[in-house]
């Protein structure tokens, strides 16, 4: 008889221990989940604060659109570089060509809007002091590019193309005198 009396007591002790160990595991798992949730909410709030402060700092109007154009161009060129360097199947999987086209299209749309508003301008500069070796279109273009790269400091963005001895440059209106000086100096 003692054997049967002991058996329920022992089995009840075992079941109580199992129950408390299960409860302990549950509370540990709940605490881990709660910590994860707190960290996740903290990260999201930090990202929100950075986004709000950064967007408020960028400004409005044409300057804001100009900065957006520059960012889109940079991402377009980065994607162009990635498209050339990554394996073909990965490029197709990530749709890099479509992303590049999207960013370059955004940059072009911003540029056209800025040209229409007058923030960007197409300045035509006649170059009278080209070296005698710059007789072909490519050599004239290389010479103008050399002058722009060596003579310009503090100009964010510009692009140009050549029409015989004229350089047609797209830049901000405020940068035209600096670019003119850089092109006209040999």
Compute the distance between CA of residue 162 and CA of residue 141 in angstroms, rounded to an integer. Answer: 6
Query: How many independent structural domains does the chain possess?
Result: 3
Summarize pLDDT for 43-93 with one digit per residue, the tens: 888 887 777 666 655 566 888 898 899 999 999 999 999 999 999 999 999
Higher pLDDT, 124 or 17: 124
pTM of the model: 0.60
Domain boundary among 10, 42, 57: 57
Q: Are residues 44 and 20 in the same domain?
A: yes
Structure tokens at 173: 């209106």
Q: Are residues 124 and 178 in the same domain?
A: yes
- pLDDT exceeds cutoff 50 at 5: no
Domain that holds residue 45: 1-57
Residues of the chain by 3-state class (helix, strand, coil), percent to 5: 75, 10, 15
Element (H, E) at 142: helix 137-151
Domain boundary among 93, 117, 141: 117
Q: Are residues 26 and 41 in the same domain?
A: yes
pLDDT of amino acid 53 = 66
Q: Are residues 50 and 62 in the same domain?
A: no
Q: Phi and psi at residue 130, in whole multiples of 5°? A: -70, 145
Structure tokens at 141: 């273009």
Summarize pLDDT for 18-50 with one digit per residue, the tens: 655 555 666 777 888 888 888 888 888 888 777
Mean pLDDT across the stretch 117-130?
86
């Amino acid at each position: 008889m003692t054997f049967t009396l002991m058996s329920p007591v022992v089995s009840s002790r075992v079941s109580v221990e199992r129950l408390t160990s299960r409860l302990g595991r549950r509370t540990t798992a709940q605490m881990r989940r709660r910590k994860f949730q707190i960290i996740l909410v903290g990260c999201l709030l930090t990202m929100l604060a950075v986004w709000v402060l950064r967007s408020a700092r960028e400004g409005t109007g044409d300057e804001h659109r100009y900065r957006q154009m520059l960012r889109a161009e940079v991402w377009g060129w980065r994607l162009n570089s990635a498209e050339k360097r990554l394996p073909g199947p990965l490029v197709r999987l990530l749709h890099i060509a479509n992303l590049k086209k999207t960013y370059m299209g955004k940059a072009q749309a911003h540029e056209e809007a800025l040209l229409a508003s007058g923030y960007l301008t197409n300045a035509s500069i006649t170059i009278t002091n080209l070296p005698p070796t710059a007789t072909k279109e490519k050599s004239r273009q290389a010479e103008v590019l050399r002058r722009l790269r060596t003579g310009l400091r503090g100009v964010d963005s510009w692009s140009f193309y050549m029409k015989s001895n004229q350089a047609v440059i797209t830049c901000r209106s405020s940068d035209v005198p600096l670019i003119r000086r850089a092109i006209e100096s040999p």
